[in-house]
Amino acid sequence: MKIVQLTHYYSIFRGRRFYGVRTDMSVEDLNLACAYLQLVRDQLPGFLETVDDELGEVETVPILCSLYGCEPLINRHANTTADSLIDLFDNWNDYAIKASKRSAINKLARSGAKLAILEEMILNAKSNVSDQPKPKQIEIIDQLEAIKSGNLVTIEWGLKTLDGEPYLGRIIRSAQPDPIG
């Protein structure tokens, strides 16, 4: 089993905390899995007022653990030695946006990926809300909870994906993987 550290170019935790996983996956497959998660996140609505618009290492570690059986390695100080490093910013550029990688990425698709990412989005939204939340922040958390619960999202909600497309429909719980386009 190898230790793979996860970082993000824009991380506020750089150098202060270690976020990683212990896994028997190859580094290539772990890169593909991270790209898959980022692409699934990209299909979900953006809530820039409250929720980060990308998956950082904080969100990615627990999702990798729940969907791919990795063991989380999160330390208070960056003193853990990793066998490899995946920067999620580079992963986006080197894997996620390359059409030539889509087939390999989809082989690592998992059922429940959208739900796992929504759970992290809810945690992110709640952590970004002050002691006296603004009405819009409460609305966003309520919308995220409704989406996670499988409620139908209509045009009246006014939600858009991160690339500006309307976000409509419903998340259906299924044993089938959540594919990317």
d(CA 93, CA 107): 19
d(CA 7, CA 57): 5
Residue 44 is encoded by which pair of tokens? 């979900």
pLDDT in tens, 76-134: 776 789 999 999 999 999 999 999 999 999 999 999 999 999 999 999 999 888 778 88
pLDDT in tens, 6-53: 999 887 666 678 999 999 999 999 999 999 999 999 999 999 878 988
pLDDT in tens, 118-171: 999 999 999 888 778 888 899 999 999 999 999 999 999 999 998 899 999 899
Rg of the chain over CA atoms, in angstroms? Answer: 16
Domain ranges of the chain: 2-157
CA atoms within 13 A on the CB side of 126: 9
